[in-house]
Chains A and B, each alone.
Chain A
Amino acid sequence: MQHRMIRRSGPLAAMAAGVVALAGCAQGDVPQSTMDPKGEYAQTIFNLSWPVFLIAGVIGVVVFAIIGVLIVRFRERPGHEETPKQVHGKPTLEIALTVLPAVLLAAIAVPTVNVLFDINAEPEDALVVNVTGQQWWWEFDYPSITGDDGLPLVTANEMVIPAGQQVRLNITSRDVIHSFWIPKLNGKRDAVPGRVHTWNLHADDPGEYWGQCTEYCGLSHTNMRMRVIALTSADYERWVAQQKTDARAAEDEAAALGEAQFKSLCASCHQVDGLKDAEGEQIVAQPQTQVYNGAAPNLTHLMSRGTFVSSNFDLLRPDCRLERDDLSVNDPEAFSAAYVEGTSVECLNKTQLEAWLRDPPAIFPMFVDPTQLEATDGKYRGMPNLNLTETQIDQLVSYLQTLK
């Protein structure tokens, strides 16, 4: 039995060492790894964390080694019957072994508190992005970037930032508590309704950085995912310029039919800047009349994003996705250029988009059953099934792919 006990401490030691070793490895295929920092804040936290892991691992190994030794040395053996010495304690040893960990912890506490204040400090010349969580998607707006109408630039689920630049986040929520987390760029910060929490982001290089909501927020908490896209400064400027433009009226026939469908079926909740009614007036979405938290994603530049529905579904076909992801890891600048091009008609993952339009709650759990909406005054939490015909779906897809 004592042998088994000894062997048992082996894997534990290996595990402790493994955690540290894993930390050094490239984690390209683990998109939410905390051990693969890609920006200043994540790196600072990681630099603080790994020595603590190491110290904890060493202490663990020492403790298990001692237990292993005493199991072998002091086990009862045949013929060994006398009662052991009844030692009641050694106060000096006890005090020493109490003070030692206290001193060790005090030593760790100093850099911990330093880092704590560092990562919370407001950086200079930061790009400000307001982050708003709601069931079950993220909205990002850029207060310093306004369009012709004077309103800030708004996007959903994919936050675009310039690589190498400081970004200051103001995080809040429209319904329950959510938490904003992009592991490779920084730790998480809760989005609490009625409060605005500040937090920082920084990405060293262009690339796509995955995250998800990490405060349990109800039915589709798991699916409340998001991405931060870091671009080169030049590409970021191009992206901003392009986001400021309005959607153009549909040109070909199929898209025009789709635009009509969109106006009657979708525009009451989803804003598309530039979408005009019969009198030529901008149609202003009124999601608060149908959605409990009063918001729905702005779709003006849907095709400028790589994913849709809380980054759960790909706008890119699988082959185009592979190519894009490969660039993100191996050629950040090329990735940056490709991202600004948006999702081309050739690369569009029509199957996925059609599946979503056919029955949204079937592939993304939401509270949209009309018989269950008593508690929300008949309003939806999520997007209901619109019971579209295949023709309507085709027409809508034709229109949506014009929203560059």
Chain B
Amino acid sequence: MAIVEQPSGPLALRGPSTVTPDVAYGVFRRPVATSGWKSWLFTIDHKKIGIMYGATALFFFLVGGIEALLIRLQLAQPDGKLLSADTYNQMFTMHATTMVFLVIMPMAAAFGNYLVPLQIGARDVAFPRLNSFGFWAFFFGGVFLNLSWFMGGAPDGGWFAYAPNTGVPFSPTHGMDFWVLALQITGLASLSGAINLIVTILNMRAPGMSLMRMPIFSWMILVVQFLLVFAIPVITVALVLLNFQRLFGATFFSVDAGADPLLWQHLFWIFGHPEVYILVLPSFGIVSEVLPVFSRKPLFGYPFVVFSGAAIGFMGWGVWAHHMFASGLGPVSVAVFTLSTMFIAVPTGVKIINWIMTMWGGRLVFTTAMLFAIGLIVEFTIGGLSGVTHAISPSDTQQTDTYYIVAHFHYVLFGGAIFGIFAGFYFWWPKIFGRMLSEKLGKWNFWLMVIGMNGTFGPMHIVGLEGQSRRNYRVIPGMGVSFWNMVETISSLILAVGVLLFVINVVRTNLRPRTAPLDPWDARTLEWMTASPPKDHNFDSIPAVHSIDEFFHRKYEEDEETGDFTKIATAEEILAEQEAHADAHMHLPSPSYWPMVLAFGLPVVAIGLIYNIVISVAGALIIILGVYGWVQEPSVADDSDYGPPGDATKELAAVE
């Protein structure tokens, strides 16, 4: 797709249609496929890229889930024999790395990419080719990381990779090299994506959409992108140091050479704590969209939710050392971070209060999406409260590195981030694919996940306080924790069945599609004011925005005297009006090979760094080729390729 024309003459009633350029730039032709796999691989359409992010992240979710199950099966009984100590250490390192960098972060990128332009009334993101590059960098980075399993051993230093245990003498396989370089590559994906979405949100909102009228999900995505822009460079620095330490004999973390290993911990957690909010804020955004729709009420205290999100974004930078309360920082530093950590609970609590108040007085409809949203409130509250218990730094010296912490962050990341993502799946599936997921299967999906997650992570509070230490490849017999470990393992299987039901639901929906109504949930925001799935160009005409819940206010009219709302228009009518006033001439960016070529060069360089510098040179040439092709090629095929604007002769020829 490229330029979308409103054809004149006999085809006027057909609405806009897509014209694809076939002109070559330099020696390479632009990709022209509008259907089939090529249309996906080389797409720069934010919606297709969003779907590819989601599909890849879902695949890695299953990989990380299998790793989690192997961990739980090993710990089902004391002295488990399923995995060796070495394999177990690789397994927990990869489980965490996968879930953080290859599942939750790209899942947020999936929703952000797909929904932000639709929610703000834009036709695409600001830099569509950069968007494509971001996806492919993530994709190749994820594949590259997992190659380590087949090339001498996966990373075994933990996702936190504390120096000096990640030095070559202590981690002699190439696993940690793969880890370092893979995170650099996916870091590029996050950075480019963040810049892209910030520019998009700040510049491309529909007329009338001030920042304080922007849908809350887009707000949370905006906050997260700023966190990424500042957090990723910090881990990039840390990774460069570790990379040079391991591959070229630098001594940044060598104690013999005068290094302080705590340097790594500070760098890692200055990234790592904002990272927690990077993981969870998009899901907060999702439930802040879902709850109002199924409560039939606007989000309670919209400005409070916005500002608390921003406040979390700021305060998130001042709490990193609470990951280091046992590291020996001394009581003064610990006291400072104790206080900052306790007070970050306040803006987080504000969100929970606002979600509850949103539901209060509403007319609650318990769809699967709504159940996951309420599930998030409940599970995240547990995770938040246990978080406060280890903000108490003296208590934390008893809790840190035990299963109590494992329980805490799984309530935050599974009960928070993942539940939010599932709410998003069920809520936006009809929008994205034009088909309904089964609500019946969805409810089974939800309840099995709730039972499974509480059964898996709930008892971890108990065994953690009973002294079961983390990152142990076996349950030590005689510690009084075997019973609950068995319960956890059984529950993890229930959780797995719950997740599997979602996969079955997706497959079933594809085999026996049920076409979704245009507005199945009686939704409130702009993304529902277009076709499902949306047209290539999102909106036939860019809507002018007058209020926060623009779509709701177009469907419902307020009685000035009573304040009651009555329905005055259906979604179909609103869409028809849009189509009737379609813009005459829309330029969409054209597909391109170059982002993918450029991204492909990155893992080639990385493999060369590990094995042979000659391969790196080859990778560098691929990157140079990619950059060259990219700058040579205009992002949008020129008008002269098509004839004058509004001339639809080419389109007519294609139709005939």
- Contact surface of A with B, Cβ cutoff 8 Å: 1, 4-5, 8-9, 11-12, 15, 18-19, 22, 27, 29-35, 42, 44-45, 48-49, 52-53, 56-57, 59-60, 63-64, 66-67, 70-71, 74-76, 80, 82-91, 93-94, 97-98, 101-102, 105, 108-109, 112-113, 115-117, 119-120, 135, 171, 175-177, 179, 181, 183, 186-190, 192-195, 197, 210, 212-222, 225, 292, 365, 367, 372, 374-376, 381
Q: Once the chains bind, are B162 and A56 in contact (CB under 8 Å)?
A: no
Q: Once the chains bind, are B168 and A375 in contact (CB under 8 Å)?
A: yes
Q: Once the chains bind, are B389 and A56 in contact (CB under 8 Å)?
A: yes
Q: Once the chains bind, are B389 and A120 in contact (CB under 8 Å)?
A: no
Q: Which of B238-260 contact A (CB under 8 A)?
A: 255, 258-260
Q: Which of B335, B395, B465 contacts A19 (CB 8 A)?
A: B465
**A187 CB contacts on chain B under 8 angstroms:** 326, 394-398
**What are 18 pairs between A and B in contact, CB < 8 Å?**
A8-B450, A29-B480, A30-B479, A32-B469, A33-B465, A34-B402, A59-B385, A83-B556, A98-B346, A101-B345, A105-B343, A115-B394, A116-B335, A187-B398, A188-B326, A193-B255, A222-B469, A376-B172
At the interface, yes or no: B543 with Cβ under 8 Å from chain A?
A: no
Q: Once the chains bind, are A8 and B378 in contact (CB under 8 Å)?
A: yes
Q: Whole-angstrom distance between the alpha carbons of A63 and B567 in the complex?
A: 34
Q: Whole-angstrom distance between the alpha carbons of A372 and B359 in the complex?
A: 61
**A1 CB contacts on chain B under 8 angstroms:** 366, 371
Q: Whole-angstrom distance between the alpha carbons of A398 and B450 in the complex?
A: 58
**B346 CB contacts on chain A under 8 angstroms:** 98, 101-102, 105
> Quick one: given A83-B565, A218-B165, A374-B172, are A365 and B382 in contact (CB under 8 Å)?
no
* Binary CB contact string for chain B from 556 to 599 against chain A (1 if under 8 A, 0 otherwise): 10100001111100000000000000000000000000000000
A100 nearest CB neighbor, chain B only? B349
Q: Once the chains bind, are A70 and B170 in contact (CB under 8 Å)?
A: no
Q: Once the chains bind, are A86 and B298 in contact (CB under 8 Å)?
A: yes
Q: Whole-angstrom distance between the alpha carbons of A292 and B171 in the complex?
A: 13
Q: Once the chains bind, are A89 and B356 in contact (CB under 8 Å)?
A: no
Q: Whole-angstrom distance between the alpha carbons of A183 and B401 in the complex?
A: 12
Q: Once the chains bind, are B349 and A87 in contact (CB under 8 Å)?
A: no
Q: How far is the CB of A80 from chain B (nearest CB, A)?
A: 6
At the interface, yes or no: B328 with Cβ under 8 Å from chain A?
A: yes
At the interface, yes or no: B107 with Cβ under 8 Å from chain A?
A: no
Stretch at the interface among B84-92, B139-147, B282-290, B505-513: B84-92
Q: Whole-angstrom distance between the alpha carbons of A12 and B411 in the complex?
A: 13
Q: Once the chains bind, are A52 and B398 in contact (CB under 8 Å)?
A: no
> Quick one: given A1-B366, A22-B462, A74-B361, are A116 and B338 in contact (CB under 8 Å)?
yes
Q: Once the chains bind, are B354 and A94 in contact (CB under 8 Å)?
A: yes
Q: How far is the CB of B164 from chain A (nearest CB, A)?
A: 5
**B352 CB contacts on chain A under 8 angstroms:** 63
Q: How far is the CB of A185 from chain B (nearest CB, A)?
A: 11
Q: Once the chains bind, are A97 and B363 in contact (CB under 8 Å)?
A: no
A59 nearest CB neighbor, chain B only? B385
**A91 CB contacts on chain B under 8 angstroms:** 301
> Quick one: given A74-B363, A187-B326, A214-B400, are A176 and B389 in contact (CB under 8 Å)?
no
Q: How far is the CB of A221 from chain B (nearest CB, A)?
A: 6
* Binary CB contact string for chain B from 349 to 363 against chain A (1 if under 8 A, 0 otherwise): 110111011011111
**A93 CB contacts on chain B under 8 angstroms:** 357
Q: Once the chains bind, are A70 and B359 in contact (CB under 8 Å)?
A: yes
Q: Once the chains bind, are A56 and B450 in contact (CB under 8 Å)?
A: no
Q: How far is the CB of A188 from chain B (nearest CB, A)?
A: 5
A292 nearest CB neighbor, chain B only? B169
Q: Once the chains bind, are A31 and B172 in contact (CB under 8 Å)?
A: no
B463 nearest CB neighbor, chain A only? A30
Q: How far is the CB of B481 from chain A (nearest CB, A)?
A: 7
> Quick one: given A34-B398, A175-B164, A219-B86, are A87 and B469 in contact (CB under 8 Å)?
no
**A27 CB contacts on chain B under 8 angstroms:** 466, 480
At the interface, yes or no: B381 with Cβ under 8 Å from chain A?
A: yes
Q: Once the chains bind, are B327 and A190 in contact (CB under 8 Å)?
A: yes
Q: Once the chains bind, are B470 and A34 in contact (CB under 8 Å)?
A: no
At the interface, yes or no: B213 with Cβ under 8 Å from chain A?
A: no
**A119 CB contacts on chain B under 8 angstroms:** 394
Q: Whole-angstrom distance between the alpha carbons of A119 and B396 in the complex?
A: 13
Q: Once the chains bind, are A109 and B170 in contact (CB under 8 Å)?
A: no
B308 nearest CB neighbor, chain A only? A98
Q: Once the chains bind, are B397 and A190 in contact (CB under 8 Å)?
A: no
Q: Once the chains bind, are A84 and B170 in contact (CB under 8 Å)?
A: no
Q: Closest 10 A-B residue pairs measured CB to CB? A: A187-B397, A32-B467, A197-B328, A30-B480, A89-B301, A375-B172, A222-B472, A194-B255, A176-B165, A365-B85
**A210 CB contacts on chain B under 8 angstroms:** 467
Q: Once the chains bind, are A33 and B466 in contact (CB under 8 Å)?
A: yes
Q: Once the chains bind, are A67 and B377 in contact (CB under 8 Å)?
A: yes
Q: Once the chains bind, are A176 and B466 in contact (CB under 8 Å)?
A: no
Beyond known contacts A83-B565, A117-B331, A193-B164: 11 more, CB 8 A cutoff:
A29-B480, A34-B399, A49-B389, A56-B389, A75-B366, A94-B354, A181-B469, A188-B326, A190-B326, A192-B327, A374-B172
Q: Which of B259, B371, B374, B392 contacts A67 (CB 8 A)?
A: B374
Q: Once the chains bind, are B382 and A60 in contact (CB under 8 Å)?
A: yes
**A74 CB contacts on chain B under 8 angstroms:** 295, 359-364
**A105 CB contacts on chain B under 8 angstroms:** 342-343, 345-346, 388
Q: Whole-angstrom distance between the alpha carbons of A1 and B470 in the complex?
A: 36
**A189 CB contacts on chain B under 8 angstroms:** 326, 328, 397
At the interface, yes or no: B40 with Cβ under 8 Å from chain A?
A: no
Q: Once the chains bind, are A48 and B395 in contact (CB under 8 Å)?
A: yes
Q: Once the chains bind, are A87 and B297 in contact (CB under 8 Å)?
A: yes
Q: Once the chains bind, are A83 and B564 in contact (CB under 8 Å)?
A: yes
At the interface, yes or no: B386 with Cβ under 8 Å from chain A?
A: yes
**B481 CB contacts on chain A under 8 angstroms:** 30
Q: Once the chains bind, are A45 and B398 in contact (CB under 8 Å)?
A: yes
Q: Which of B310-346 contact A (CB under 8 A)?
A: 326-328, 330-331, 334-335, 338-339, 342-343, 345-346
At the interface, yes or no: B461 with Cβ under 8 Å from chain A?
A: yes
Q: Whole-angstrom distance between the alpha carbons of A52 and B392 in the complex?
A: 8
Q: Once the chains bind, are A195 and B328 in contact (CB under 8 Å)?
A: yes
Q: Once the chains bind, are A183 and B398 in contact (CB under 8 Å)?
A: yes
Q: Once the chains bind, are B170 and A175 in contact (CB under 8 Å)?
A: yes
Q: Whole-angstrom distance between the alpha carbons of A170 and B258 in the complex?
A: 20
